[in-house]
Amino acid sequence: MNLCFAQSLRDRAQAGPYARRRPTRPASSPRRGPGPYRFVLLAWLCLLAPVLAPADTFTVSEGAHKQLTAVRERLNAGQWVEAETLLDQCITAFSREPYALAVAWQMRGYLYGETERPAQALAAFEQALTLDALDPALQQQIHYNSAQLLLVLQRPAEAVRRIETWMAAIADPTPDQRVRVAWIYFGAERYKTAAGHLESAIAAAATPETSWYELMVATLHHAGDYNGTVRWLPRLIERNPRESRYWLQLAGAYLQLGKERQAAAVLSAAYHNQLFQEPVEIVRLARFYCQAGVPHNGAGVLEQALDAARLPANADHQQLLADAWLQARETRRAVRVLTHKARNGGGCQIRLRLGRLLMQLGEWGEAREHLDYVIRAGCEGRQGAEPLLLLGMAAYQEGRLETARAAFLEARNRPSLRKQAESWLTMIEQALSRRCNVPGKCG
């Protein structure tokens, strides 16, 4: 399994389910220290070891053998500047030794890859192949790693052609080789072909690696094959039932298929198996429940975690809990949460929201307390204007028509509320007029 893409998959998983990123082109200037291509090219050092065995084993002179050995030692030590200087000397000195010259170009490609110069690395490998002096194993390694570099350089069609050349030389690919091919097709966004190679690899392997299953799931996701995703994710869960992101991904795939009940069942099973215990996981689970159409479950998870002090009782978490209760149409529970938040430093927005919700419940007196707070606080914009209208409505519902009229008269001075305030004033005037027609009710 190539470590380059295995790490890439882990990075995507940490960023979120199936986050998709194209390779970015590294800076052209070399840096001092191991670069991101060590996992791309590291295998070559292993292959170069037998090449640099005693000189009479291969068609290289004793001098070439010594110089290439010195280069290899510096590459192993990460001494890039010294290695590059020696390689320049080797390429000049080995012009009459094709095998040694090809190995030097291959080493140069490795060095360029390690110092984040993919275009130059690719050119060096091409030069090594052009000499047609390397043994088949080394040529195959160059073909594969050239395909990887072509992906980094965002040349996917060429990467596919290169990997097809690589595959053509293999009579009976091993499972590991098929997975390496699948990575190239995945990077080139040829997902159906990648999935075919992965399925063959997993079927043929005695003990398939977990990363192969992860790649299969990512491939199916990017292909939009959510039915395939829900077939393969349970295999990952069976291998590692404590990995919470697998459960979330399975629930997400069911949501994509419009199967909210199955998504909720997956989340419930994971939660009851003691997953999602960290604060960030609890919040993610609650949001997922709400997205799956079962906000009552999401609110329950949050409330349990807050009561058990597994989730900090900060403003954001209280807001999320209130939103979940509201989505579940549990207005009184949402009011209870928001009231607690308001008492612990909630500002105008929370108080205004409480006023609205309490009015929905017909709790006019409690609503008035919060609306008065907003007005006294001198909140600007609509937050400062809307409470006047709501106070008038509350007073009207309580039968305090004069108080209501005073509130609507003030609200009428706010352009955003003028039309609504005038409508209410008309209703109040009519009510007052009717009242005056009742003996003892007017003047």
Last residue of a domain, one of 298, 330, 346: 346
Give one DSSP letter per residue of 307-367, joined into a string: HTTSS---HHHHHHHHHHHHHTT-HHHHHHHHHHHHHTT--HHHHHHHHHHHHHTT-HHHH
Q: Is residue 55 part of a domain?
A: no
380 shares a domain with 304: no
434 shares a domain with 357: yes
Q: Per-residue b/e over 330-356, b at no fewer than 16 CB within 10 Å?
A: beebbbebbbebbeeebebebbbbbbe
410 shares a domain with 339: no
DSSP 242: T
Q: Is residue 199 part of a domain?
A: no
Which CATH number covers residue 432? 1.25.40.10
Q: Is residue 208 part of a domain?
A: no
370 shares a domain with 414: yes
Which CATH number covers residue 319? 1.25.40
Q: Is residue 113 part of a domain?
A: no
Number of domains in the chain: 2
Q: Is residue 402 part of a domain?
A: yes
Q: Is residue 406 part of a domain?
A: yes
pLDDT in tens, the chain (443 residues): 332 322 332 333 333 333 333 333 333 333 433 333 333 444 444 444 444 444 344 577 899 999 999 999 999 999 999 999 999 999 999 988 999 999 999 999 999 999 999 999 999 999 999 999 998 888 999 999 899 999 999 999 999 999 999 999 898 999 999 999 999 999 999 999 999 999 999 999 999 999 999 999 999 999 999 999 999 999 999 999 999 999 999 999 999 999 988 988 898 899 888 888 889 989 988 998 898 888 999 999 999 999 999 999 888 898 999 999 999 999 999 999 998 888 877 677 888 889 889 999 988 888 888 888 888 776 655 555 788 888 888 888 888 888 888 888 888 888 777 888 888 888 888 877 776 665 555 55
Q: Is residue 291 part of a domain?
A: yes
Spacing of C-alpha 304 from chain mean position: 27
Last residue of a domain, one of 346, 363, 382: 346
418 shares a domain with 367: yes
Q: Which domain holds residue 288?
A: 276-346
Rounded CA separation 143/146 (Å): 5
364 shares a domain with 321: no
Q: Is residue 151 part of a domain?
A: no
Last residue of a domain, one of 346, 371, 395: 346
